[in-house]
Structure 1
C-alpha cells in the first residue's frame, strides 16, 4: 500500500497538531512536578489523546524525587516496558503503579 502524498498545507497542519500535543504533555509534566496534578488524576484520563500517548517513563520522571534511574527500576519491578504509553497500561498495572508510588 502506497503512502499518500501530503500537500504542504496538510503537512503543516500535522506539524502544528503534533506541536500542540507536545506542548500539552509538557504542561502536564510541569503540573506533576509542581504537585498541582497527581499521577492518579493523569491515569484516570487515559482516554484523552494527550495523556494516552504519553510514555509511562515520562510520567514517572515528572514526579518529584523520581529520576531516570528510579523510574526505570519501578517499571522493571512492575513489568512495564520502557516504551509503554499510558493508554497501553492495564487496570492491574495502573493499580500496582499507584501502589508502588504509595498513592492511595
Structure 2
C-alpha cells in the first residue's frame, strides 16, 4: 500500500470541511427518514455518493418503528450483508426492499 501524499494545511482543512458537510447531509437524511418526511423509495432513488455510501443497516434502523434487532432480521431475511452499502445493492435486493417499504403517502 502506498503512503498518502502529504497535504498542506489548507488542503487538510478543505478535506475536513468536505467530510463534515457530507456527514451533516447524511445525518439530515437519516433524521428525515426517522420523522417520515423522506420515504425509503425516495432515498433509494437518489444516486449520489452521500446516499450510496450509507450502510443499508443504518438506513433500516432510521426508519420509523425499526430498531437494531428488526433491522438485523430484515437484512437476514432479504439476504443482504450487514456491511452492504446502498450503492452495492443488487437489483433483486433493491426490489425486495422496495416491496417491503412501498411508497407511503
Same fold (TM over 0.5): yes
Partner of 2:71: 71
Partner of 1:2: 3
TM-score in terms of structure 1 length: 0.91
* Aligned-partner Cα distance in 2 for 1:86–1:94: 9
Deviation at 1:35, TM superposition (A): 0.7
Partner of 1:16: 17
TM-score in terms of structure 2 length: 0.90
User: Superposition RMSD on alpha carbons, in Å?
Assistant: 1.2
Unaligned runs of 5+ in 1: none
Between the two proteins, the alignment pairs up a number of residues equal to 102
Relative contact order (alpha carbons < 8 A, sep ≥ 6): 1 or 2 greater? 2
* Aligned-partner Cα distance in 2 for 1:28–1:11: 26
* Aligned-partner Cα distance in 2 for 1:6–1:31: 35
